[in-house]
Structure 1
């Protein structure tokens, strides 16, 4: 079964909490997500790649397919991703498993997960796992349809994260904003 608009909507109907969108992300949103990668990024983990829109945009921006690590639990989407991106490492595991199955460091973790529909504990587990595998300048990139940060404030504060956000991407259904989360830089003690 192909993963076009119809298949995506079918997956939404079957797994609404997991898919959490009526349509796949647009190439415009994918381009905005990929533009947030650090300039020298090479190794990237993608959480919830779905139909592979962000995956394709990252490859188009210069990330080698073999340097992508994908986490997708939807069987239909995972099968399609394996066929379309055979050089990427695909885990059919929840995003929280990143730290258990992958070694550091990643330059970025890019997420298509529906964080707004998750509890604070689920968000903290995902972000904690991701940041445990990010290098010192690594970033966590997430989009949201909402008017504010997709992370609950207690998660942001608990992990000591700061963030920036992009302008709204209107060429997406619904329009979305991209957030880039960072840890504070640790300064070396003066000697």
Structure 2
């Protein structure tokens, strides 16, 4: 089954969990993975879905054994395990990353729809990311909206610094990439 067919089937079955009208574009995937390479160290991805960002991470030279994915959807998990041998795939929520991944991760890439989540879930996800990130690590998140995908009070409470990245017009809908790090 193609990635698009799988995406559509999962969207129809559970639209709140998929929370997108189309898979992320290759252009967005390149923007999200900018700066990654063979020496990036461990990389973790939250909400890989069909694996568009996963493909881009690996294409940048990150070895499969340095990549760990967190995905809830059982069909996506099966698809990811078959498509990306050597990559660790957990069928667990992103909030459990600190329990399953050693600290020292260079980058966490997130395809999760943070703004559509309750504040406590959103904070749990971002807190888990920063629990595993190395001191100079980055949390990369995109959003379709005009503002960062975390409210100012969360950014302040978690003592984060945010950099607005590329606006990706070649995505449906257009998206903006944000990079978060410790202040």
When the two structures are superposed, what TM-score results if normalisation uses the length of structure 2? 0.95
Q: Does 1:178 align with 2:164?
A: no
Residue correspondence of structure 1 range 10-49 to structure 2 within 5 A: 10-37=9-36, 40-49=39-48
The gaps in structure 2 that reach 5 residues or longer are none
Q: Which residue of 2 aligns with 1:5?
A: 4
CA distance in 2, matches of 1:3, 1:113: 21
CA-CA distance at 1:101 after TM superposition: 1.3
User: What is the number of residues matched between the two proteins?
Assistant: 183
Q: Are 1:154 and 2:153 matched, yes or no?
A: yes
Q: CA deviation at 1:167?
A: 2.5
Farther off after superposition, 127-136 or 28-37: 28-37
Aligned-partner Cα distance in 1 for 2:97–2:59: 24
For 2:117, the equivalent position in structure 1 comes to 118
Q: Which residue of 1 aligns with 2:132?
A: 133
Shift in Å, 1:139: 0.5
Change (3 A) 1:94 1:59: same
Residue-by-residue CA offset, 1:9-45 (whole Å, 9 max, x unaligned): 2211221121100111011000001105489412100
Q: Is the 8 A contact 2:77 2:91 kept in 1?
A: yes
Which residue in the other structure is 1:188 paired with?
none
RMSD: 1.4
C-alpha displacement of 1:90: 0.7
**Contact in 2 for aligned 1:47/1:70 (Cα 8 Å):** yes
Secondary structure of the residue aligned to 2:27 is helix
**What TM-score, normalized by structure 1, do the two folds share?**
0.91
Aligned residue in 2 for 1:92 = 91
- Return the index of the structure with the highest Cα Rg: 1
User: Which aligned segments of 4 or more residues in structure 1 are displaced greater than 3 angstroms?
Assistant: 36-40
Tell me the distance in 2 between the aligned counterparts of 1:103 and 1:3. 33
Per-residue CA deviations over 1:126-180 (Å, capped at 9, x if unaligned) read 1111101110110000011111111122211110111111221111111111000
Contact kept in structure 2, 1:144 and 1:177, CA below 8 Å: yes
Q: Is the 8 A contact 1:36 1:141 kept in 2?
A: no
